[in-house]
Amino acid sequence: MKFLLTSNENFKDYFAALVNRSNGDMSAVMPTVSQILDDVRARGDEALFEQIEKFDRWKPDANSLKIGTDEMQKAYDGIDSCLRNALNLAFDRIKSYHEKSLPKTWMEHDEHGVLLGAKYTPLDRAGLYIPGGKAAYPSSLLMNAVPALVAGVGEIVVCTPAVGGKVNALLLAAMHVCGIKEAYKVGGASAVAAMAYGTQTIKKTDVITGPGNIYVATAKKLVYGEVNIDMIAGPSEICVIADESADPRHIAVDLLSQAEHDEMASAVLITPNQAFGAAVQRHINEEIKTLARQPIAQVSIDKKGAIIVASDLDECVRLANELAPEHLEIATNDAMELARQIRHAGAIFIGHFTPEAMGDYLAGPNHTLPTGGSARFYSPLGVENFMKRTSLISLNAKGISELGNACMKLADAEGLGAHRRSVAVRLEALK
């Protein structure tokens, strides 16, 4: 794990590379992904089945591709009662949070008597991609399905990879909790293609949301415009601002909580206290040995981990804003005040008793977050990703009389005669 002081001669170059991190080299997988997308678009189910057999090592047909609601119910009934309670608690908390952000249709008359407003409408059909590679993620199903449900989406379809044709029981149980009626055993770029273009078995969707590997991210980027997408998500990342008021062991484990996701995940501590940074590093070296996913976490820590010692907390905040991390923990005595100074982060975890893991599962806010510095311009997944806004405009005679001449002037300036005339004929009719 890199240990750097901001006063080091090479720090600026290192940090610039960190800030300019990308979500992965898409150019390397672009030809493969493009071929998969084109094949599914051209041949539908036939191509889809071939790709599933190739990548997931089982031979599907239209019937075996679909996950039945009876499978979901059976999985839910079969898991430990404590897990059932945890899934339901998570569902309730995530639903409650997202209901508070539900956009409302509005209308009002301005001083000219013009009725203006915005109408929010749920999408007809949403496609949710749920990863199933190195681990199963029922929490991702909850985080994608619940805002779609709150938005009022008419049809929700889930796609998830099923190596050997098997789907994780806990993921199936989460589907039952969310009331999913349509789900398929297909992953990777193939799933994105099916949801974007449609096949004989899987109908085209209006939006595709959910995280995935570089093949999934690249596929989502390429189909954007054919359908909407939430964001281009890359490897998981965490940044922690902490000082000597924090427990170094707690911070070490928090950093490892993201490192264990993936070899490409990044974990960065920014602290004004060098001794504290050294203590965190010692605890990382101890705690990592206890992890079941130690090999993955070790690669992440060695390649993408860093402890940065800043001159003071103000510099810590400045560096965090430049980094624009997916997850930002602030573990200092004045954590709330520092949080007010953060402009760029997917989610902020405030105080000594707020590990990032709580946000991953059941705090309430969505855990599908912008990565790779895209928190500068992207927001977390939310209800609005499953809705669209339509503008409402209604002029009466008073409104067009008072505003029409200015509109005609602008149409004249742009050389659009029919635009001008469409206003003029109405003004003439009022004379």
Distance between CA atoms of residues 241 and 259, nearest Å: 17
Other Cβ atoms closer than 10 A to 63: 8
**Res 23 pLDDT > 60:** no
Question: What is the rounded average pLDDT of the residues 38-59?
Answer: 95
Query: Which residue spans of the chain are classified as CATH 3.40.50.1980?
Result: 2-22+234-364, 25-103+123-229
Flag whether 414 is marked binding. yes
Flag whether 70 is marked binding. no
**Res 58 pLDDT > 70:** yes
Number of residues assigned to the chain: 431
Q: Is 188 left (phi over 0), alpha (psi -120 to 50) or beta?
A: left
Flag whether 261 is marked binding. yes
Burial zone of 163 (CB within 10 Å; 0-12 exposed, 13-18 middle, 19+ buried): middle
CATH topology of domain 2-22+234-364: Rossmann fold (3.40.50)
- Name the residue among 330, 322, 288 with its Cα closest to residue 305: 288
CATH topology of domain 25-103+123-229: Rossmann fold (3.40.50)
Flag whether 258 is marked binding. yes
What is the pLDDT, as a whole number, of residue 237? 95
Residues whose CB falls within 8 Å of the CB of residue 9, separated by 6 or more in sequence, listed in order:
none
**Res 295 pLDDT > 90:** yes
**Res 204 pLDDT > 60:** yes
Question: What is the rounded average pLDDT of the residues 165-177?
Answer: 95
Summarize pLDDT for 112-152 with one digit per residue, the tens.
Answer: 999 999 999 999 999 999 998 556 789 999 999 999 999 99
**Catalytic residue ranges:** 326-327
Summarize pLDDT for 235-277 with one digit per residue, the tens.
Answer: 999 999 999 999 999 999 999 999 999 899 999 999 999 999 9
Residues whose CB falls within 8 Å of the CB of residue 378, separated by 6 or more in sequence, listed in order:
231, 346, 370
What is the pLDDT, as a whole number, of residue 198? 98
Name the pTM for this structure.
0.94
What is the pLDDT, as a whole number, of residue 395? 98
Distance between CA atoms of residues 384 and 231, nearest Å: 13
What is the pLDDT, as a whole number, of residue 132? 80
DSSP annotation string for 62-109: HHHHBPPHHHHHHHHHHS-HHHHHHHHHHHHHHHHHHHTT----EEEE
Give me 394's structure tokens. 């209604």
Distance between CA atoms of residues 237 and 267, nearest Å: 6
Distance between CA atoms of residues 221 and 218, nearest Å: 5
DSSP annotation string for 130-187: ---SSS--HHHHHHHHHHHHHHT-SEEEEEE--GGG---HHHHHHHHHHT--EEEE--
Flag whether 327 is marked binding. yes
* DSSP assignment letter at 312: S
